[in-house]
Chains A and B, each alone.
Chain A
Amino acid sequence: MRFKKIIIFTTLAGVFFAAGCKKEKFDINSNPDSVTDVSVTPSVLLPGAQQFTSSEIAGDWAFLQMWMGYWARSGSYQSITDIETYRFTNGFQVGIWNNLYANATNYNLMQTKAAASGQGFYDAVGRIMRSHNFQMLVDVYNNVPYFEAFKGTVVPTPKYDKGIDIYKDIFKQLDTAITLLKGATADAVSNPEKATSDLVYGGDNTKWIKFANTLRLRMLIHLHNGSATTTVAAGINVAEQVAKVSTEGFLGAGESAHLNPGFSGSKPQPYYRFYNTNESGSGSQRDQFRAGEYALEYYRYNGDPRINRFYVSPDGTTAGQTGITFGTPSGDQDLIGSKLSTVRGPGLSPNGAASRAWILTSVESLFLQAEARQRGVITTGPTAKQLLTAAIRESFVWLGLTSTNADTYIVGNETYPDVDYDAAGGGLFTILSQKWFALNTIAPFETWTDYRRTDYVLGTPVGYDPGPPISVDPANTSTKIPRRLLYPQNEYNYNATNVGAEGTIDVFTGKIFWDLN
C-alpha cells in the first residue's frame, strides 16, 4: 500500500514535470500596448514629426534671439554667462543638435518606410523635411554625419561629411522629392490619410513642391556672400540648381508652412507654450526674456507698427514699449521684468494658445526671392523692389496687420535705406534689413546666417552706429558674435574619432563652408 502511494505520487509528479510548458506559452513577448517597428506607419509618424519641427523652431533658439538683438534677458534673472559672454563649452545649446537629429530620425524612418511601400507622398515629404533639418544642421555646425547617419548599431560611429557635400545631396533629394510628388504614387490612394496627417499642407502635392523650391532657394542664397552677385562658395553650380526649380515656383503670399492640429490651452501652440503659458498654467521661460532694446529702437525709430505685434509693453499701451540691452547685469530695479516689454506679442500667437505654429513662412520666401532677383540668381518675373514690397506687406499681414499698414510704413520712411529700396545705400541692404525686421522671433537662425554671410550686420551697414547688438555684460570681451556652435560633448564621448578629425573648433574663426567673410 505504501509502495503504491509512492508510485502514484511519483507518477503524478513525473507527468507534471514532463508536461512542463509548451513553447507557445512563451510566445508572449510582443508588446500589447506600444506602437513598434511592425505597427508604425508613415501616417502616424508625419504629424508628430511636423509638430516637433515647429516646436524646435519656436523653442530652441532663445540664444540667437538675444544674439540677433531681438530679445534680452530680463533684469529679474541672473546672467546667462555662456550666452552673454559668447564663451561656452561643448555643453552649450546641445538641444539644437539633439533635436534636429532626433527629428530627422523620424523623417528618415518615415521616408524609408514609405519608399519601401511605394507611398510617394510620404517618401517625398520625408526627404524634404529631413533635408530641411540637415540644412539647419550644416548652417550651425558645418560638417556633420549625414551619409552614415541613422544606421543604429550598424554604424555606431558615423563619419562626418563635408557641409558642401550635404548641401549637394540635399539638392538631389529635393529633385527626387519633386519627381515623386509629380508621380502616380503620390496620390491619396497610395498614401492613406495624407489629407489629415500632413498637418502643414493637408496632402497638397503642389504646395510641397513649392516648399522644396523655397528650401532650395534658401540654400542657394546662403551661398552668396557680401554684396557679390555671384556665389563665392565654390563647388555648387547655382545656375544649374535654379534651372531645377520646378515651374510651381516658390511659396507665395498665404502659403506659409503653418500647422495647427488643434492647439488649445491644454495643448498649446509651441511658441505660446514656451514663452507664455504652458498646459499646466505656468511657463518656465515665461519671464526670463524681455524685449531687446536694440531691436525696439529700430521699430520705434521707423514708427513700425509691428513693434506691438512682437512685444507687449508692461502697461499694455503701444507707447510704453520698454526694452533692456542684452547683457545688462541684473540688479537694477528699473530693469526688472515687470517694467519691461515681454516677447509674448500677439503677432506670434494671434489666437493665444490656439494659434498656428510655423516652420517656414511665406514672408521669408518673398525675401529670398527679392534677394535672388536683386543678385541676379533669378532673372525673370517681378523686380526685386516689387518682391521686397510684397515681402514687407506679407510680413505685416502675417503678424495680423494689413497691406495698407505696410504701405503707410514704407511711405513714412522714404529715404531711409533700411526701408526705402531706392534710397541712397538701399537695395540689398534694404532687403536684408527688412528681412531682419520681419523675421524677428520667427527665424533668428536665418537672420544669423544673413549676419554671417553678408557685410551687413543686422539692420546696420558697416561702420554705422550702433554696430551689432554685442552683449554689454562686463565680463564679455568679444566684439563679435560667434559664427558657429561647438559640436556637443556627446560626440566627443561616443563618436570621438570622427569628431576629432574635425580638429579644434573655434566659434569665431571656424566657419560654415559658405561663410567667406
Chain B
Amino acid sequence: MTMMIVALLSIGVVSAQTRLVKGRVTDSKGTAVPGATIKTKAGASVAADDNGDFQINAKTGDVLTITAVTFGTVTSKVSETGSLSVVLEQKDNKLEEVVVTAMGVTRQAKELGYSTAKVRAAELTQASPVNLQNGLTGKVSGLNIQTTNSGVFGTTRITLRGIRSLTGNNQPMLVLDGVPLGLGFLSSINPNDIADVNILKSSSSTAIYGPDGVNGAIVVTTKKGTKGKPTVTFGQTTQLENISYLPKFQETFGSGYAPDDLGYGTFEPIEQQSWGDRFDGSMRQMGQTGPNGEKLMLPYSYVKNGRKNFFNTGVTNQTDISFAAGDFYLSAQNVTIKGIMPGDENNRRSFTLKADKEYGRFKAGFNLRYTNSQYDVTNNNTIVYYGVTSAPGQYDLSQFKNWRTDYFSSPDGYYTPYLDNNGKTPYFAKDNYREKGRSDDIFGNGELNFKATSWLNFTYRVGVTVANAESRSTRGAFNYSAFHNTLRDHGTLNITSAVSDASTVSNRITSEIFATLNKKFGKFGVGALLGQSYRESRSRFLSVGSNNLGTATLFSTQLRKGEPTVDVANSKTRLERYFGRFTFDYNNWAFLEATGSYDVDSRLVKPGTAFNKSDIAFFYPGASASIVLSQVIPALQNSNMISFAKIRGAVSKTGNVNLGAYAFENVFATSTFFPYGDILGFQATSTTVSNTYNPEFVVNKEIGVELAFAKNRINFEATYYNQDNTDQIIGVQQSNTTGYTTAVQNAASFTNKGLELDLKLTPLVKIGDVNIDFKVNYTNQKNKVTSIVDGVSELGIGNFNYAIVGQSAFVFKLTDYVRDDQGRVVVDRSTGMPTQNPNLSLFGKTMPEHILGLNLNVSWKGLSFSAVADYRTGNQIVADQLGGFLDDNGISERSAANGRRAFVFPNSVYDDGSGKFVENKDVYTQTYGRLFYNSDLNTDVTTNYLASGAFWKLREVALTYQIPVKIFGSGVSNVIKGATIGVNGRNLLMFLPKSNQWTDPEFSANGNSAYTGNAVGRSTAYNMPPTRIFGANLVIRF
C-alpha cells in the first residue's frame, strides 16, 4: 500500500525539466494504434487513446518505450520540441495475440485448442457498411453470410460451419460486451462503435455458453473511453444504391394473348401478357378509350429500362458522432435509408453510453445502448413487383406515376384490367398498401469485478434487452368511377380501407456470476472458471385490426365495421446453467482445457406432471488442447523461416433444447372467422407433439494447425472439423390420415464436415512506403443425413429442399421432363412434345460447398485501398417462381428464344417405334409461343429454372485518404487532429454462370427467418432486384 502511494506521488510531483510530451502512435499504414502502452524509464506509463494519441510527462532526452499487442516494441527519444510520431510494425505475432472468448474472457490465442477468428474495426468498416453483417461478409473462413434480399432492411442469413439442425435454428449467437443476445440484435448495433469482432466458430469454443452457442458465436466488443485528452469523431457517409441486375427479358414482342390462325402473336391493347406481334414502331392505342374520348397512343416498340425506371436510386445517409474521454464513451448515429422501391424508407438512430471505473479491487462498468428504427414501406412488395415485372415491353412505367391525377395512370383507366388482384397498377399499389413501424431496442448491462487476490477474480454481470416493435399496416379505399364500371360488365370491386396494428415486446434478462482462478506453480499453470447463469426470455405479441373500415381515410380500428381481428401470443422460457472450465498449461507451450455444463431448461417441463429438477437437466463435457511447437522443438525455436507453429484439437459435446416454449401441448387454433358473437370455434392444428423430448446433442471434433513464416509475414491456419448431430428434434411429416401432417419428435441424425483454410500475407509486398496485404480464406463444407425416423427416409422442409438419408442436407427434388438414360428429354415422335415426369427427381445441394474469400489491402503513405471478393459454388438454385412468372407472361428471354415458332426441343430424343431412342433433329414441337411457354408443360417443370448457384462477387471496394491536417497550419491542426476521406462501393460486380438468367443466387424465400430459413436456394418472384452501392465518406477527429 505504501509503495503505491509513493509511486502515485512520484508521478504527481513533476520536476522542473519535465513537460507534457504529446505524440501519436500509428502502424506502418498510418492507422492509429489505440491502447499502445507508452512507458518512461522512470516507470510512468500511459495508454494511447482511440486515435493513437497520447500525452506523457517526460524530460527532453528521455527514452520512451512504446508497445502494443500484436505490434513490435520501439523506443523513441523525447526531442526538445514538437510532438512524437511513433510508427509500430504490425507483428501479427501469434505468441502475443489475444482473443475475446466466451464469457467475455480475454485469452491468448496460442492457448486455444479450437479455431477462432478476429476481425478488427478497420477491416469491418473499411467500406462503411450500414450493418455489421455486411462488414463481415467474405472475411472469415467458415462464416457464411447470405444476403437473402435487397431493400431497406437488407435481410441476411448467417451460418457458421454449415448447419447443426435440419429444421431448427442454425444461426450463431451474438455476444455483445460479454452479454449473450439474440442474433436479431445484430442489425441495431452501430458498426462504428465496434472495437473488434471475434468469431468463435464451433460449440467447442462456446462450450460454456451451452445451447446458445451450439452454432458458434459472434463476439462483439465495443469501443471504450481511453485515457488522455477527450476526442470527438465525426463521420458522414452517403451511399447511392442502384439496380445491378434484372432477369433477361425479351425485347421483340409486345402485349397480346391469342395467336392468329397461323400461330403468330396478335396485339391486344388491354393485355398484360406479352404474346403480341413483333414490335414495329407504329403508333397504337393502348388500353381503352377514356370517358371523354381520350386515347393513350404509344409507339409499339421496346422501351429500354421501361420496367427498371419504376425503381428509384436508393440513398443511404449515415452520420456518426462519438466522444471518448477517460473511462467514458458516448456515441450517436443516424442512418437514413431510402430504398430503390419508391417511397420505402428506413431510419435508424442509436445512442451508446459506456463507462467503467476501478475502485481498488473493485471494478464496475456499464453499457447502455438505445436504438430506434422507423420505417415506412409498401407492405405488399409482391403485388407491386408483379405489376412492374410483368408489364409489356412497350411501356415506360414511370409515365404512370401520377395515378391520382392522370386518368391513364389511375386504376380507373390503367391500360390493363388484369392486375385486379395484383394491386391494379404498381404505382397505386405501392401507395395504397403501406406499413409503418418502429422498433425501440434497449440494451443495458452492468458488470462488477472483484479481484480478491492476484489469482482469484469474481465477476457478476447482468444484461437486459428490451425490444419493442410496433407496426401499422394499412390499405386505402378506392372507388371506381361509374364510367369504369361500364367497361367491365361484372363491375370491379371497390377497395375498402383496412388497418392492422401489431406490437411485439420481448425482453431477456441474463445474469452470470463466475469466479476465475489462475495460479502458477513453477512451470505449471492452473486455471479455472466456475459459474452459474440464469436467463429468462419473454415475448408478447398483440395485434388488432379490421378488414373493413369502409371508405374511411383515417386508419384506425376504432372506425371498424363489424368485428376486429385480434391475436395474442405469449412465450416465456427459463434456463439455468452451471458451468466450469479448467485449464492447465506447462511451460507456456502445452495447454489443456476441460469444460462441463449442467443445464436446467424450462422447455423440458411437461406441464401438469410432477417433476424433479434432474428430469429437466442435462450434462455435457468438452476438452481441447494445444501445443506451441515453435517453443518446444529447438529447431523451430531458432528458425528464421518458421516463426510460429502450433497444433490443436478439440472434442466437445453440446446439448440443445431445440424447442419453443410450450412444446408439449397440442394446440387448437381459432377456426377461420370465429368467434361469431358468442359462438367459439376451434380446430386441431396439423402438428402433433411427443410425450417426451430429449435435448439434441452436437459432438464437435476439430483439429487444426497454425503456422507463421518469415517473421510472421506469412500466416497460415487450417482446421478440419467433424460434427455429429444426433437426436434432432424435428417435425417429421406423416400421412394426414393420422390426424396430423407433422409430428415433432426426436428423430434425425446427420454429420457435418468441413475444412477451413486461412492464409494471410502481411505484407505480401513491401516496397518503400507501399504496403500490400493479401488474405485468402477458404471453406469447404459437406454434410450427410444418416437417419431420420423409422420407416421415413426423407424429410421435406419446404421450397423443394429435402433431407434424404445418405444425401446432403439439403438437396432439391424437382419436377422434370421424362428423360432417357442419358438424360436427354424424351419427346413424342409425332408431336415433338416432351412429357412431365410424374415423379420428382433428385438434384444438387442447396448450400454452397466451397466458399472462397479474398481480401486485398494496399497502402501508400496516407492512401489506402481495400477490396473484398468472394466466390461460392457447389450448390444449385431454383428460380421457378420468377422464371415461371416471366415465362407465363411472355416477358422472359426464354419465351422468345425460338422466335415464337415451332422448334426442335433441345437435347431431345424420341422412340423410333422399336423402343430405341434416337436423337431428335427434325420433329418440331406441336405448340410454341404462349401455348408452350405459358403451359404447365413448361412452367410446372421446375428444372427449366434450375441453375448453378455459383457466383463471384466484388463485395467491397474502398479507397481512403488520410488528409495530412498539418498542411493547413497549426490553426487547423490544433483543432482537427485528423481527417479521412474515402470512396467505397459494395457489390459492384457479380459474375454468374450462363445457366442463371434470373437473379442473385443468394436470394432466397424465407431466408431471414431463423427457423424456416434452412430451406435456401429457391428465390421468389418477389425478391427485390439485386443492387450495387456507391458511396463516399468523411471522418474528422477533433
Contact = CB atoms under 8 A, between A and B. Distances in A.
Contact of B737 (A35, A284, A314, A495): A495
Nearest to A489: B840
A256 B703 CA distance: 74
B673 A267 contact: yes
B739 A105 contact: yes
A152 B739 contact: yes
A145 B677 CA distance: 37
Contact of B513 (A17, A29, A82): A17
Contact of B736 (A196, A279, A490): A490
Contacts of A20: 532, 576, 578
B679 A199 contact: yes
A16 B513 contact: yes
A151 B739 contact: yes
Given A17-B513, A49-B683, A51-B671, A23 B611 contact: yes
Contacts of A339: 489
B686 A36 contact: no
Nearest to B541: A33
A503 interface: no
B794 interface: yes
Contacts of A23: 611-613, 616
B605 A33 contact: no
Interface stretch (B226-234, B290-298, B633-641, B660-668): B660-668
A467 B716 CA distance: 81
Contact of B548 (A266, A315, A333): A266
A35 B667 contact: yes
B828 to A, nearest CB: 12
A301 interface: no
A486 B453 CA distance: 78
A153 B513 contact: no
B257 to A, nearest CB: 6
B99 interface: no
Contacts of A281: 493-496, 547-548
Contacts of B676: 47, 261-262, 267
Given A26-B605, A81-B936, A48 B258 contact: no
A55 B672 contact: yes
Interface residues of A, number: 95
A34 interface: yes
B784 interface: no
Given A28-B605, A265-B562, A152 B743 contact: yes
Contact of B453 (A6, A40, A267): A6
Interface stretch (A154-162, A179-187, A394-402, A422-430): A154-162
B490 interface: yes
A31 interface: yes
Nearest to B531: A17
Contacts of B672: 51-52, 55
A214 B796 CA distance: 42
B490 A31 contact: no
A155 B743 CA distance: 12
Contacts of A30: 607-608, 662, 665
Interface in A67-122: 76, 78-79, 81-82, 89-90, 97-98, 101-102, 105-106, 108-109
A314 B489 contact: yes
A29 B607 contact: yes
Contacts of B498: 280
A196 B679 contact: yes
Nearest to A7: B452
A279 B738 CA distance: 32
Interface string B674-703: 101111111110101010000000000000
Nearest to A320: B489
Interface stretch (B80-88, B137-145, B566-574, B773-781): B566-574
Nearest to B616: A26
A44 B568 contact: no
Contacts of A109: 684, 739
A47 B677 CA distance: 12
B745 A31 contact: no
B436 to A, nearest CB: 20
A282 interface: yes
A145 B736 CA distance: 10
A339 B1004 CA distance: 41
B679 A261 contact: yes
B739 A108 contact: yes
B603 A13 contact: no
B1029 to A, nearest CB: 37
B838 interface: yes
Contacts of B679: 47, 196-197, 199, 261-262
A33 B452 contact: no
Interface residues of B, number: 99
Interface string A186-200: 000000000011010
A51 B572 contact: no
A131 B98 CA distance: 71
B490 A314 contact: yes
A37 B670 CA distance: 14
Contacts of A197: 679-680
A198 to B, nearest CB: 10
A45 interface: yes
B739 A150 contact: yes
Nearest to A108: B739
Contacts of A13: 458, 513, 515
B943 to A, nearest CB: 15
B342 interface: no
B680 A47 contact: yes
B613 A33 contact: no
B735 interface: yes
B458, B574, B612, B665 — most chain A CB neighbours (10 Å) = B665
A476 interface: no
A156 B682 contact: no
B671 A31 contact: no
Nearest to B937: A81
B488, B738, B794 — most chain A CB neighbours (10 Å) = B738
A500 interface: no
A33 B568 contact: yes
Contacts of B937: 81
A287 interface: yes
A475 B32 CA distance: 75
Given A34-B667, A150-B738, A29 B681 contact: no
Interface in A239-297: 261-262, 264-267, 277, 279-284, 286-287
A5 B733 contact: no
A199 B680 CA distance: 11
Nearest to B840: A489
B496, B661, B668, B739 — most chain A CB neighbours (10 Å) = B739
A235 interface: no
A399 to B, nearest CB: 21
B682 A45 contact: yes
Contact of B683 (A106, A277, A315, A337): A106
A45 B666 CA distance: 14
B527 interface: no
A491 interface: yes
Contact of A26 (B361, B496, B613): B613
Contacts of B570: 32-33
A351 interface: no
Contacts of B663: 29
5 contacts: A29-B602, A29-B605, A89-B836, A279-B547, A494-B792
Interface of A: 2, 5-6, 9-10, 13, 16-17, 20-21, 23, 25-38, 40, 43-45, 47-49, 51-52, 55, 76, 78-79, 81-82, 89-90, 97-98, 101-102, 105-106, 108-109, 144-145, 149-153, 155-158, 196-197, 199, 261-262, 264-267, 277, 279-284, 286-287, 312, 314-315, 330-333, 337-339, 342, 490-491, 493-495
Given A34-B669, A52-B671, A277-B493, 7 more contacts: A9-B450, A55-B672, A81-B937, A89-B836, A98-B736, A281-B494, A286-B493
CB-based closest 6 A-B pairs: A331-B258, A48-B671, A48-B681, A30-B607, A261-B676, A495-B735
